[in-house]
Amino acid sequence: MKIPDALTGAIRQAQSVLLVAHVSPDGDALGSSLALARALRGMGKSVSILDKDAVPRIYRFLPGWEAVSAELPDVSGGEPDALVLLDCGELERTGFKSLPGRVKLVVDHHLTERSYGDVRWVLPTVSSTGEMVYNLIRALGAEIDAKTALCLYTAIFTDTGGFRYSSSTPSSFRAAADLVELGVKPWSITENVYESISPARMRLMGMAINGIRFHDDVAVIVVTHDMYRETGTTDEDTENFANLARSIQGVEVAVFIRQTGPESFKVSMRSKGRVNVAAIAETIRGGGHHNAAGGKMDGTLAEVEERIVVALKNARRDSQS
Ligand code: AMP
Ligand code: MN
Ligand code: MN
């Protein structure tokens, strides 16, 4: 993996580093941040980790998660030498209006083009930011101890859906093999990530599955505030709902519509491969990857559902003509 010299150079030179990942952090955002933080601290640097949203309960097995702060660090003594954006390529996705850092670096694997930062290392064909950070730590010559390995493995594991997606390349498996050699216990991570569903979350899932609607080969799965109330759940209990709907036989694209306000929704899309959902996400204030992307829409639930289903149909008609 070719890493820009400007990136490794800037990180080597920095004494203080601020790491920031995207809002609603997932396993890749958190695993990458925590792993890079540990490795850089091992090199004698002072590192802070920032995320606008709290660490979801299912990721609280990651060593060091308590240190992820939601508050911008005090910069009265000066800006950090380097800012590193992880698993996102733009300021907007961090949820902050501005971020301090004498040099601004981006380590990301999203398809959507952005221009933020002085040095951008963006590899859309790589499985995860975690796989990139694994290679970055190696290039820096820093240590990967068992805890760092656990964070990196979780990042790669979650973004590849447990090494199932087409993004799982020989390089992802090589990184994973190395991390297992360094002490990672795969089952322990599987259990934490995929096999620790709370009874309330399972009920929410049942309710959402019952309500799945089909528009030809598009499946729509919905979660509303009323459903949270009825089951005693919150938005962090909806992870993987979009994948759930995609897993249905004959479904090409799944759309997960999650209520965020009276008439506002987060829209997640998952494709089996024939439709590039990142392109559609760009039309709804979002972005992502070919097979997994998301954005935001306003209106009533019926309007949002209608608009996104039509957008998908049009995109496919255009791509076929
Ligand atoms: P999600 O549907 O939230 O699981 O996200 C799927 C992929 O799309 C992830 O890689 C996200 O980083 C990306 N994504 C989701 N929402 C947005 C957004 N509003 N803007 C840019 N990228 C997004
Ligand atoms: Mn992510
Ligand atoms: Mn990612």
> In the β-sheet with 119-122, what is the strand arrangement from edge to edge?
68-69, 46-50, 16-21, 82-86, 103-108, 119-122
Taking residues 228-255, what's their average pLDDT? 97
From the CA of 43, how far away is ligand 1's center (Å)? 32
| Structure confidence by residue, pLDDT tens digits, 167-179 | 999 999 999 999 9
Quote the percentage of the chain above a pLDDT of 90. 95
pLDDT at 316 over 90: no
At how many degrees (to 10) do helices 129-140 and 146-159 cross? 150
Query: Which residues are within 8 A (CB) of 268 and not within 5 positions of it... i.e. 6 or more apart?
Result: 241, 242, 255, 256, 258, 292, 293, 294
- The average pLDDT across 49-59 equals 97
pLDDT at 318 (0 to 100): 78
Mean pLDDT of the chain: 97
Nearest protein CA to atom 2 of ligand 1, as residue: 268
Query: 230 C-alpha to center of ligand 3: Å?
Result: 31
pLDDT tens digit string along 115-172?
A: 999 999 999 999 999 999 999 999 999 999 999 999 999 999 999 999 999 999 999 9
Contact criterion met (CB below 8 Å) for 83 and 103: yes
Fill in the amino acid letter for 285: R
Residue 182 has pLDDT above 80, yes or no: yes
Say which DSSP state 101 is in.
-
Mean pLDDT of 14-18: 98
- Identify the burial level of 6 via C-beta atoms within 10 angstroms of its C-beta, where 0-12 means exposed, 13-18 middle and 19 or more buried: middle
* pLDDT for the residue numbered 317: 80
pLDDT at res. 224? 98
Q: Which two tokens stand for residue 298?
A: 């306003």
pLDDT tier at 112, thresholds 50, 70, 90: confident
Is residue 286 helix, strand or coil?
coil
Q: Which residue ranges make up each domain of the chain?
A: 5-194, 199-320
Which atom of ligand 1 sits closest to the CA of residue 92?
20
pLDDT tens by residue, 77-106: 899 999 999 999 999 999 999 999 999 999
How many Å lie between the centroid of ligand 1 and the Cα of residue 264?
16
Pocket test for ligand 1, best of 106, 238, 268, 280 (most atoms within 8 A of CB): 268
pTM for this structure? 0.94
What pLDDT score does 321 carry? 62
Q: Which tokens belong to 1?
A: 């993996």
Is the domain spanning 5-194 CATH 3.90.1640.10? The answer is yes
| Alpha helices, H only, 58-145 | 129-140
In whole angstroms, give the CA distance from residue 271 to residue 240. 13
Q: For residue 242, give the ligand 1 atom closest to its CA.
A: 2
Percent of the chain with pLDDT over 70: 100
Q: HSE on the CB side for 180, CA within 13 Å? A: 13
Is residue 195 pLDDT above 90, yes or no?
Answer: yes
Cα 281 to Cα 275: distance, rounded to the nearest angstrom: 12
Q: What is the mean pLDDT of residues 30-38?
A: 99
pLDDT at residue 219 tops 70: yes
Distance separating alpha carbons of residues 106 and 116, to the nearest angstrom: 8
Q: How far is the CA of 283 from the centre of ligand 3 (A)?
A: 20
Q: β-pairing, 218-223 with 253-261?
A: parallel
Q: In CATH, what class is 199-320?
A: alpha beta
In this predicted structure, the answer to whether residue 24 has a pLDDT above a threshold of 80 is yes
The residue whose CA is least distant from atom 7 of ligand 1 is: 293
pLDDT, one tens digit per residue, over 242-284 is 999 999 999 999 999 999 999 999 999 999 999 999 999 999 9
The residues facing 48 across adjacent strands are: 18
| Nearby residues of 320 by Cβ (< 8 Å), 6 or more positions away | none
pLDDT at 273: 95
Segment 43-72 shows an average pLDDT of: 97
- For position 75, what pLDDT does the model report? 87
Beta partners for 19?
49, 84
What confidence score (pLDDT) does residue 320 get? 72
**Backbone torsions φ then ψ of 119, nearest 5 degrees:** -125, 125
Going from the Cα of 216 to the center of ligand 2, the distance in angstroms, rounded, reads 29
User: Which residues form the pocket of ligand 1, taking CB atoms under 6 Å from any ligand atom?
Assistant: 22, 93, 110, 242, 268, 286-289, 292-296
What are the residues whose beta carbons fall under 8 Å from the beta carbon of 267, sequence distance 6 or more? 255, 256, 257, 258, 281, 284, 286, 294, 295, 296, 297, 304, 308
